[in-house]
């Protein structure tokens, strides 16, 4: 029985990894020319974030890398709250796997020189979604570039 559970868990892990790779490849396709391999890009994965009625954490990536950093952000869910994603690495290439805002507000603050894409199409119902990066129902989603030099 333990062997069966181990095999089943390994199968789910391989399926999840393939899905993550598909999402990253969708973002790479969206960006066009990138410094990453199209066939087997190296990337890091950031776990899902959930915020319900003010309980939960916002996401902050403020580390700065010397080289381009490809990051897959797992789905974020906000219900009856305000959530903030701060993607502040100027060498960051951020791929959002999905996000859901219901009766809330989702803000994405992204470094001026960073890249941002969604691997999924967006949907809005009775709300506004500037980012087109997920599902917004009776809420609002925005993207703000930060750290840009004023001309």
The pLDDT of residue 119: 83
Query: Is 151 inside a domain boundary?
Result: no
Query: Is 53 inside a domain boundary?
Result: yes
Strands 123-125 and 115-118: what pairing?
Answer: unpaired
Please tell me the pTM assigned to this model: 0.78
Query: Is 142 inside a domain boundary?
Result: yes
The pLDDT of residue 141: 81
The pLDDT of residue 8: 31
- Enumerate the H helices of the chain as residue ranges: 2-31
Count CB atoms within 10 A of the CB of residue 28. 21
Query: Is 139 inside a domain boundary?
Result: yes
DSSP secondary structure code for residue 90 in this structure = T
Query: Is 77 inside a domain boundary?
Result: yes
The pLDDT of residue 134: 58
Domain containing 34 equals 2-146
Query: Is 16 inside a domain boundary?
Result: yes
| Number of compact structural domains in the chain | 1
The pLDDT of residue 130: 52
Sign (positive or negative) of CA dihedral 14, 136, 139, 95: positive
Digitized pLDDT (tens) for each residue of the chain, 151 residues in all: 333 333 333 333 334 455 899 999 999 999 999 999 988 999 999 998 899 999 999 999 988 999 999 999 998 888 999 999 999 999 999 999 877 788 888 899 999 999 999 887 654 454 445 544 556 667 778 889 999 986 4
The pLDDT of residue 37: 93
């Amino acid at each position: 029985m333990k062997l069966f559970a181990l095999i089943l868990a390994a199968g789910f892990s391989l399926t999840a990894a393939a899905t993550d790779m598909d999402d990253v490849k969708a973002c790479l396709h969206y960006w066009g020319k990138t410094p990453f391999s199209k066939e087997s890009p190296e990337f890091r994965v950031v776990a899902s974030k959930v915020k319900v009625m003010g309980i939960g954490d916002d996401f902050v990536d403020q580390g700065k890398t010397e080289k381009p950093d490809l990051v897959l952000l797992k789905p974020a869910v906000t219900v009856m709250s305000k959530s903030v994603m701060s993607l502040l690495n100027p060498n960051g290439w951020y791929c959002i796997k999905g996000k859901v805002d219901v009766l809330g507000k989702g803000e994405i603050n992204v470094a001026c020189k960073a890249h941002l894409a969604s691997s999924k199409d967006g949907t809005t119902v009775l709300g506004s979604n500037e980012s087109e990066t997920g599902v917004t129902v009776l809420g609002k989603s925005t993207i703000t570039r930060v750290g840009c030099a004023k001309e």
